[in-house]
């Protein structure tokens, strides 16, 4: 029954209006991505067109080919993958161990530290950028991937600690207690019992750290100046704001970069906001 | 953010059951510290140290030329900032920027959340499409809008011409560039508010609405007297956080105005970024950052206080 698919109190007119509003908003949210696709599919001789067709006449994949084989997209992707992958690993290792301690032990300074982690989310980035830049320059980490990985991990760790602490809180303590009674020590319990149970939360933390690095432009713009070390954001921004932009090639590269990130994000989105809403609403 | 309290938990003198258990299981007092040390170190190194270092830097005249031996010049940088009339104009522009963005984020986000929070065919697909702006890497979204705002070939001007209006100089006129930046950032930010509101809406017990229905309340009355007050604990922290994020938003204006030398589009943070990394005036930029930080801290604390005050009325 069609009737079952809608709220019983909603009149048909209201349902139509709701759909109209939602579809209009969906068009607005999707259009920029479609526009990238349109420009990427245009043949080289028709780059500048003044119509709004989604699939252009004589659509071609030539721009994708140019982006992958004739420009530096693969190099940037390799650099970005390396940086993001290492950020993900470091982020998840640091955040897991800290989240576990915050979840399981009462210790002096625990509350202050957790609050401090929350506050780091509020600090203005520009205030930290300059000292970070000078610090990294003194550590000789400019034009070095470590100079990106360390600040990225530091940005991602506080959020991941909170997420993981929340997850560990849901695992009953009795599991560890019975392991202790069987003679296991703290580390064995942590690695053999808690970690295998926490795989989904670990994946979220790792992906969140990964995406922090994958999408970051402002820090990489000041740390990396050598073209062969450029990451995707650097390469793409320079490609697009150059005065003779290759719009087609840029759009193809931007699509190839953002589609995997968007799929990942959409599948994670449920967990990203849950931290904000759970517990703050008194039901 | 009202959940953030700075009270320290004092180590309890009376042995609680937990403590006895911990002791029996041979967990030393330093065990938890071993677990948190890596995370603490990286956050201290990358957040707290730069914060302290930044304040010190703001009292020097460090720039590209005297990078290695800067001189302490006291409060000169601060005096330069506060005596420059442009600072106040930029500050006003930043407030306009923050207010315009956050209010649009909340209004659009809340509106979409109330529309979508019902039985609806194709709801999950619609929700995925609606959060796309949040999912797209921010710099790519900004660059795409940069293309959409192009005077001759951008979709927005094509659309304006198609409905009989004249094309607008989005990227060359500072006022239009600023509006373009707001449009871009509203587009980027409303999905977050939508998801937050949706999470809040779903946790409001339906009995409240049923009771209101029995009393014959109109939809507007239900929205005003049930939905809004119940969403407040979610929306207020989210909007405060959103305001801080928007105040600090570098990407949008910096990338949109990358090829423009007009200073009339900049907000405080993009101005600092330019002073620091395009003009290499490190000491000055550090002082500017401290000023921004103080403004934000003042805003956040007074906002929370004000909200707490009104909470007690309810």
List of domains in chain B: 58-313 (1.10.3720.10)
Given a cut of 90, whether residue B293 has pLDDT beyond it is: no
Distance from CA of residue A121 to its chain's centroid? 15
Residues of chain A with pLDDT > 90, as a percent, come to: 20
Task: List the one residue out of A194, A216, A198, A200 whose CA is nearest residue A271.
Answer: A200
Tokens of A24: 């209009």
pLDDT category of residue A1 using cuts at 50, 70 and 90:
low
A22 touches chain B (CB under 8 A): yes
pLDDT over threshold 90, residue A171: no
pLDDT of residue A4: 65
Kindly report, residue by residue over A104-123, the tens digit of the pLDDT: 888 888 888 887 887 777 67
| A76 interfacial to chain B (CB closer than 8 Å) | no
CB contact A142 to B (< 8 Å): no
Q: Is the pLDDT of residue A187 over 90?
A: no
Q: What is the pLDDT of residues B101-154, one digit of tens each?
A: 999 999 999 999 999 888 888 888 898 899 889 888 888 899 889 888 988 888
> Does B11 score more than 60 pLDDT?
no
Q: Which residue has the higher pLDDT, A18 or A274?
A: A18
Mean pLDDT score, B209-219: 87
Paired strand residues for B60: B72
Q: What percentage of residues in chain A have a pLDDT greater than 70? A: 87
Read off the tokens for A119: 């506050």
Q: Structural domain boundaries of chain A?
A: 2-60, 71-275
Residue among A127, A254, A276 whose CB faces B143 most closely = A254
Å from B52 to nearest chain A CA? 9
Query: How many CB atoms neighbour CB B16 within 10 A?
Result: 10
Q: What's the whole-model pTM score? A: 0.82
B234 against A219, higher pLDDT: A219
Angle at A125 between CA B194 and CA B33, to 5 degrees: 95
Q: What sign has the CA pseudo-torsion B114, B119, B120, B123?
A: positive
Most confident of A199-208, A226-235, B44-53: A226-235
* Residue B204 in contact with partner chain A when CB distance is under 8 A: yes
Longest CA–CA span in chain A (Å) reads 75
Which residues in A lie closer than 8 A to residue B158 (C-beta atoms)?
Answer: 50-52
Mean pLDDT of the A77-89 span = 93
The residues facing B72 across adjacent strands are B60
Query: The tokens 């923050």 sit on which residue?
Result: B98
The answer to whether residue A102 neighbours chain B at the CB level (below 8 Å) is yes
- DSSP codes, A193-260: IIHHHTHHHHHHHHHHHHHHHHT--HHHHHH---GGG--HHHHHHHHHHSTT--HHHHHHHHHHHHHH
For residue A146, what are its two tokens? Answer: 């470590």
Question: Residue B217 and residue B234: Cα distance in Å, rounded?
Answer: 24
Task: State how far the alpha carbon of B91 is from the alpha carbons of B81, B95, B249, B266, in Å.
Answer: 11, 6, 14, 10
Looking at residue A22, what is its pLDDT?
Answer: 93
- CA–CA separation, A138 vs A123, rounded Å? 23
Q: How far apart are alpha carbons A270 and A265 in whole angstroms?
A: 9
Q: Binning pLDDT at 50, 70 and 90, where does residue B1 land?
A: very low
**pLDDT for the residue A133:** 86
A101 touches chain B (CB under 8 A): yes
Among A18-27, A246-255, B38-47, B65-74, name the most confident range.
A18-27
Closest among A234, A198, A237, A200 to A219, alpha carbons compared: A234
The whole-number pLDDT of residue B308 equals: 64
The pLDDT value recorded for residue A274 is 56
If you average pLDDT over residues B26-49, what whole number do you get?
82
Q: Is the pLDDT of residue B83 over 80?
A: yes
SS3 of A18-72: the string is: HHHHHHHHHHHHHHHHHHHHHHHHCCHHHCCCCCCCCCCCCCCCHHHHHHHHHCC
- Most trustworthy range by pLDDT among A126-130, B34-38, B183-187: B183-187
| Per-residue pLDDT, A2 | 58
Q: Tell me: pLDDT of A192 over 80.
A: yes
- The sign of the torsion formed by the CA atoms of A134, A137, A142, A145 equals negative
CB B171, CB B177: distance < 8 Å? yes
Question: What integer best gives the mean pLDDT of chain A?
Answer: 82
Residues 86-145 of B with CB under 8 A from A: 108, 112, 115-116, 118-121, 126, 128-141, 143-145
The percent of residues in chain B predicted with pLDDT above 90, rounded, is 17
State the average pLDDT over residues A190-214: 85
Alpha helices by DSSP H, B117-173: 123-130, 132-135, 138-148, 155-162
pLDDT at residue B309 greater than cutoff 90: no
Within 10 A of B165 (CB to CB), how many other CB atoms are there?
Answer: 10
**Contact across the interface for B126 and A22, Cβ inside 8 Å:** yes
Q: Examine the pLDDT at B199 and tell me if it is beyond 90.
A: no
Q: What is the mean pLDDT of chain B?
A: 82
Inform me whether the pLDDT recorded for B91 exceeds 50: yes
Burial A110-138, CB ≥16 within 10 A → b, else e: bbebbebbbebebbbbbbbbbbbbbbbee
Q: CB–CB of B159 and A52 under 8 A? A: yes
What is the structure's pLDDT at B12? 44
Class of domain A71-275: mainly alpha
Could you give the count of Cα atoms lying within 13 Å of B188 in the half-sphere of its Cβ?
A: 24
Closest-CA distance of chain A to residue B80, Å: 18
Q: What gap in Å lies between CA B124 and CA B221, rounded to an integer?
A: 28
Interface contact B305, partner A, CB < 8 A: no
Instruction: Look at the block and give the residue holding tokens 């909603």.
Output: A10
pLDDT at B10 over 60: no
pLDDT grade, residue B6 (50/70/90)?
very low
Nearest CB to A30 within list B11, B132, B259: B132
In this prediction, residue A49 carries a pLDDT of 62
pLDDT, residue B111, reads 94
Q: Which of A23-37, A117-131, A244-258, B298-312 is the most confident on average?
A: A23-37
Q: What's the pLDDT band for B4 if we cut at 50, 70, 90?
A: very low
Helix and strand numbers, DSSP H then E, in chain A = 13, 0
| Whole-number pLDDT of residue B231 | 86
- Do residue B293 and residue A127 have CB atoms under 8 angstroms apart? yes
- Predicted local confidence at residue B307, as pLDDT: 63
- Mean pLDDT lowest among A53-62, A205-214, B13-22, B55-64: B13-22
Q: Which of A6, A130, A279 comes nearest B57 by C-beta?
A: A130
């Amino acid at each position: 029954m069609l009737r079952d698919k809608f709220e019983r109190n909603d009149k048909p007119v209201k349902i139509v209006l709701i759909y109209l509003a939602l579809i209009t908003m969906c068009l607005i949210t999707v259009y920029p991505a479609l526009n990238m696709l349109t420009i990427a599919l245009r043949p080289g001789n028709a780059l500048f067109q003044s119509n709004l067709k989604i699939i252009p006449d004589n659509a071609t994949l030539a721009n994708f080919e140019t982006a992958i084989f004739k420009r530096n997209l693969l190099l940037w992707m390799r650099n970005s993958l390396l940086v993001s992958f290492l950020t993900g690993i470091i982020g998840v290792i640091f955040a897991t161990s800290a989240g576990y301690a915050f979840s399981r032990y009462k210790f002096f300074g625990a509350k202050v530290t957790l609050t401090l982690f929350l506050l780091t989310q509020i600090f203005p980035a520009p205030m930290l950028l300059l000292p970070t830049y000078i610090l990294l320059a003194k550590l000789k980490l400019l034009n070095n991937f470590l100079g990106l990985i360390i600040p990225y991990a530091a940005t991602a760790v506080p959020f991941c600690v909170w997420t993981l602490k929340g997850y560990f809180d849901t695992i009953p303590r009795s599991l560890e207690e019975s392991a202790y009674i069987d003679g296991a020590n703290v580390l064995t319990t942590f690695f053999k019992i808690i970690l295998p149970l926490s795989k989904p939360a670990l994946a979220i933390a790792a992906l969140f750290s990964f995406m922090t690095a994958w999408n970051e432009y402002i820090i990489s713009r000041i740390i990396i100046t050598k073209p062969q070390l450029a990451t995707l954001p650097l390469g793409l921004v320079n490609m697009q704001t150059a005065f003779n932009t290759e719009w087609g090639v840029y759009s193809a590269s931007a699509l190839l970069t953002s589609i995997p990130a968007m799929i990942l994000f959409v599948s994670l989105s449920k967990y990203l906001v849950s931290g904000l809403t759970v517990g703050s609403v008194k039901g | 953010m009202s959940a953030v309290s700075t009270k320290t938990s004092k180590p309890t003198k009376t042995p609680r059951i937990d403590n006895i258990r911990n002791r029996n299981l041979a967990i030393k007092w330093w065990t938890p510290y071993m677990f948190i040390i890596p995370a603490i170190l990286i956050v201290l190194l990358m957040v707290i140290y730069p914060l302290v270092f930044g304040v010190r830097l703001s009292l020097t005249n460090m720039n590209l030329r005297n990078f290695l031996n800067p001189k302490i010049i006291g409060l000169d940088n601060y005096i330069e900032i506060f005596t420059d009339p442009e600072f106040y104009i930029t500050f006003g522009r930043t407030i306009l920027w923050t207010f315009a963005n956050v209010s649009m984020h909340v209004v659009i986000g809340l509106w979409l959340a109330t529309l979508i929070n019902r039985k609806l065919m194709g709801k999950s697909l619609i929700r995925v499409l609606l959060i796309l702006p949040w999912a797209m890497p921010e710099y790519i979204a900004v660059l795409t809008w940069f293309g959409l705002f192009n005077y001759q070939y951008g979709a927005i001007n094509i659309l304006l011409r198609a409905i009989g209006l004249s094309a607008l100089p989005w990227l060359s006129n500072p006022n239009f560039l600023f509006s373009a930046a707001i449009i871009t950032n509203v587009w980027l930010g409303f999905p977050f508010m939508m998801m937050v509101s949706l999470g809040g809406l779903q946790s409001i017990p339906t009995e409240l609405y049923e009771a209101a229905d029995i009393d014959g309340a109109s939809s507007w009355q239900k929205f005003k007297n049930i939905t809004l007050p119940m969403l407040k604990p979610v929306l207020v922290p989210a909007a405060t956080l959103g305001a801080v994020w928007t105040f600090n938003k570098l990407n949008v204006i910096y990338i949109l105005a990358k090829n423009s030398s007009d200073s009339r589009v900049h907000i405080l943070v993009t101005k600092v970024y330019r002073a620091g990394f395009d003009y290499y005036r490190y000491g000055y930029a550090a002082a500017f950052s401290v000023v921004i930080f103080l403004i934000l801290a003042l805003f956040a604390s007074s906002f929370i206080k004000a909200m707490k005050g009104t909470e007690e009325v309810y």
